[in-house]
Structure 1
Amino acid sequence: MIVADNEDVLIERRAVPAKHKLSLLSQIYVERGTKEDWDLLHELHYKAENLGIGPLIYRCILDGQVIGVGVMTVPKMLLSGRNEAFKHMRPNQAGRDTKLMNRHRALWLNAHSCTNSRLVLDTMYRGAGIAYRMQNLMMRMTGCRYVEFQSSMSKFNPFAARAGMKFTKPRRSANYSKGLDFFRRWFASAPMDYVGILAELEAFKEPVRAKCVAEMRKFYYTCSSMEKSGDNRANGTSRVDAMEVRYLLKSLQQLVLASPLYGVFTNPDFEMGAGTDFEYPPRLPLVAFDNQSLTEPLDLQRAAEQLAAITIKTTIAEPQLDEHEPDDQAD
């Protein structure tokens, strides 16, 4: 079927077998990465500005090129989704919590869980089943008993569910109603229209714009629990006051409109490594995901055979000197 045919583009939708797989899948592998790998692809992620605490980075490699990056961070101490999924972990039930209980709850979370806070794939390789395979493998490779996940995108793209995440029911932001009232008071554009709101802000006369931005900072700080907890709790309003307007607007929209799903992955390999010196291989082939069910331990022998079939290339090409150019470094 021809979707579009004009002087600029021809787009065809061709029928493929129901279980067709991208032929390149068998040549892709997952391994530990670095901050430099995140920097390569971070602009393709809708939360590109910063990373969480203690980032542990994984990368997806095809033919020596980084095509995907995932980031694990330390878990947040308070999450409403966790309270629903793990009711015994809910803090201060009936007012019984003590300092000792709170401390050991935090120690247990840090020892047994982490958060998959970022996952981004090169746009050339999306829709081929790479993301959920990569996510499953890197969650296993953490060695954590539980991997938490919060994502608004998961309401529309179920890749995380395919990776083994179990989700609680979605909830609307607690700031949704008053946030909509705030946007309507200042802007004609829809609250989710980032470009439209930014254009209105820039068109305001300077005194009006200054007043509007001040009110945006005040509303965001008042309603954001994140700005008053963790490392931010000692900052007062200084961090919000220093926010660039575009970042402030994006943060305000996230605060009001986001309703991220909370999901948790129970690592079937956790018991295999508990109390032992077991470590995952430094690399896993992407197709190792298909060797077992989501609830079974990884078939490491089969994964090793599949990895051996992949030609491993360096991800950083060495600069080549033109044979006709002199080597300035030569003695």
Structure 2
Amino acid sequence: MPFAETSTGAFERPDALETLIERADAPVARFSLLDDMIVERGDKSDWELLHDLHYKAENLPIGPRFWKLTLFGETIGVLVTANPKGLLKERHLVFPHMKPGRETKTTNTYRYVFVNQNFRVISRFVVDTMYRGIGAGYRMMNLVARMEGLTYMEIQSSMSKFNLFGQKAGFRFVRPLNANKYEIGMKFFRKNFQASPQDYQALVDELNAHPPAQRDALLQLCKDHYYRHSALEKTGNNRDKGQDRVNAMSVETIIKGIQQITLASPMYGVFVNPDKGRSVPQRLPLTAFDAQKPTEKLHV
């Protein structure tokens, strides 16, 4: 896929990206109510309506913007975009010239300005369970990536290894990388547990099987480790809560948290907006996706 030069001189690298999935023209079964679904601006109340269906229900990202999918005026899907991370190793595989090097404070600051002016990230996305599996998700992702109006839309999603919704929406993905804290986390597990780091229940059972004093000491060690290495606890709504929030967590939550920062390997995908600089309506029928290929200019 050809890529344009950015203002930083960075070029996208097709060799760093995985397969692009495009729609086939062969006739397929189609959910008739797709014709009545609308993608448009939403607000926090739309997220609150459906957020319990999302595994990250508690917190919102930094700089959220809300988009909703409606059917006959009822919200049946919500997509939340957010400010992107300033530094991201997966992004640097695709945009190698954005990777930090020998820089001044000014150029380092400019990188963050450039990222915020050209990138958004899909942070939360949930569709009502009644309307899953009909193709609404990838259609909405594609349209929102256009309607946001920036050059690039990013996503980091573990589910993209199992469900090709991102690829169908026109996103290109790099190969999964180990989590940033993989080596540190694996060393912690091997030092303090006999159970496999991947076996959640075995880790919980092993910790709980210790005598009370030893159990409490190991649990506190786990909490200290998790807080020290978890970016989640130092950003968003959690950033002002300190370690008190972590100290109140259960054994199960702490083990799950350490596994997440150690073993998670979400796939990084990027969508290049073909409609950048064009006037795109802020309210579109969901089926507007079907009028062109996922990476072509919108036919409106």
TM bracket, shorter-chain basis: 0.7 to 0.9
Structure 1 Cα separation of the partners of residues 45 and 218 of structure 2: 37
**Matched position secondary structure for 1:48:** coil
Q: What's 1:281 paired with?
A: 281
By relative contact order (CA 8 Å, sep 6+), the higher-ranking structure is 2
User: Is the 1:226–1:232 contact (alpha carbons within 8 Å) kept by the matching residues of 2?
Assistant: no
Q: Does 1:135 align with 2:141?
A: yes
| Superposed displacement of residue 20, structure 1 | 1.0
Gapped regions of structure 1 (runs ≥ 5): 1-16, 273-277, 301-331
Q: Which amino acid aligns with 1:175?
A: K
Q: Aligned in 2, Cα 1:163/1:203: closer, same or farther, shift over 3 Å?
A: same
Q: Aligned in 2, Cα 1:49/1:299: closer, same or farther, shift over 3 Å?
A: same
Q: Aligned in 2, Cα 1:88/1:63: closer, same or farther, shift over 3 Å?
A: same
Spell out, residue by residue over 1:288-330, the C-alpha distance to the aligned partner (whole angstroms, 9 max, x if none). 0001112222122xxxxxxxxxxxxxxxxxxxxxxxxxxxxxx
User: Is the 2:227–2:243 contact (alpha carbons within 8 Å) kept by the matching residues of 1?
Assistant: no
Which of 21, 32, 49 is residue 30 of structure 2 equivalent to? 21
Q: Does 1:41 align with 2:50?
A: yes
Greater shift, 281-290 or 179-188, is seen at 179-188
Structure 2 Cα separation of the partners of residues 43 and 231 of structure 1: 18
Structure 2 Cα separation of the partners of residues 142 and 158 of structure 1: 22
Q: Percent identity?
A: 45
Q: What's 2:7 paired with?
A: none
**Matched position secondary structure for 1:297:** coil
| Superposed displacement of residue 233, structure 1 | 12
Q: Which amino acid aligns with 1:82?
A: R
| Superposed displacement of residue 48, structure 1 | 2.0
**Matched position secondary structure for 2:274:** coil
Gapped regions of structure 2 (runs ≥ 5): 1-25
Greater shift, 240-249 or 64-73, is seen at 240-249
Q: Aligned in 2, Cα 1:121/1:221: closer, same or farther, shift over 3 Å?
A: same
Q: CA RMSD in A?
A: 2.9
Q: Does 1:119 align with 2:125?
A: yes
| Superposed displacement of residue 64, structure 1 | 2.6
Greater shift, 208-217 or 263-272, is seen at 208-217
**Matched position secondary structure for 1:271:** coil
**Matched position secondary structure for 1:49:** coil
Aligned residues: 274
Q: What's 1:61 paired with?
A: 70
Q: What's 2:294 paired with?
A: 294
| Superposed displacement of residue 220, structure 1 | 1.9
**Matched position secondary structure for 1:259:** coil
Q: Which amino acid aligns with 1:293?
A: K
Q: Which amino acid aligns with 1:90?
A: K
Which of 241, 244, 247 is residue 249 of structure 2 equivalent to? 244
Q: What's 1:80 paired with?
A: 89
TM-score (normalised: structure 2): 0.80
Spell out, residue by residue over 1:140-170, the C-alpha distance to the aligned partner (whole angstroms, 9 max, x if none). 1111111111111101111001101111111
Larger radius of gyration: 1
Q: Does 1:254 align with 2:260?
A: yes
| Superposed displacement of residue 203, structure 1 | 6.3
